[in-house]
Amino acid sequence: MDGKLNHLGVIIDGNRRYAEKAGLGLGKAYLEGADKVYAVVRHVFDKTDIGEVSVYALSYDNLLRKSDELDAILRIQKAAFDKWTEDPFFRERGIRVRFVGDRGMLPAGFRESCERLESATSENGNRVLNILMAYVGRKDISSAVKKAVLGAKDVNDIDIERYITENLDVKNPVDLVIRTASGHRLSGFLLWQSDYAEIIALDKLWPEVEMEDIDGAIAKFQSGKTKRGL
């Protein structure tokens, strides 16, 4: 590995703990978290040549939370995506926004906001921002396997790894995963794509993350100082 960082993964964690720590309501904490997503995305695409960023914004497990908390998450994220649709940043930087996950689990109005943002950025350049919503890695792989088998003329001749990769919504391998709140788990994040990814845990809750923390993780990866090949 030469330290080239093409695809960065970000696992957001710690919004609820931040609310408790800072004495904030969940809505305020999630709002700060959403603002931090935009700040990090903008910083990475502005300051680096990374071509693809995947952000784990809402897992399948998140959808099982208490309805008032989930409603707050979805309301704030929807407002953010509506704002992004009008933001010239994505066009100026040539960034296409894609939503990955089981959209059928999301409210209709929320899905419409996602689709508007995708449409508004669909003609942009070659850089990609994947937003994982209602996503779980095992289901992603299972769906890809099913598509591969159904699309094959002879199952015995399937190049299974190639077929799975071709049928995933996110096809490119992840080089580096940054996770906040000291977590070291992938929690279902792009399991197939992250099989050789380095994982760097930041000892900060998501809203507390600074751009220097992101820069430091990227620099550590590029310097080769992470434990590779283990």
Task: Please identify every residue annotated as catalytic.
Answer: 13, 62
Terminal C-alpha separation, the chain: 13
Other CB atoms within 10 Å distance of the CB of residue 67: 7
CA distance 227 to 230: 7
Q: Are 202 and 35 a contacting pair, CB within 8 Å?
A: no
CA distance 121 to 92: 10
Return the closest-CA partner of residue 144 out of 110, 99, 193: 193
Q: Are 101 and 132 a contacting pair, CB within 8 Å?
A: yes
CA distance 112 to 108: 6
Return the closest-CA partner of residue 121 out of 100, 78, 90: 90
Helices of type H across 7-103: 15-22, 26-47, 67-85, 88-92
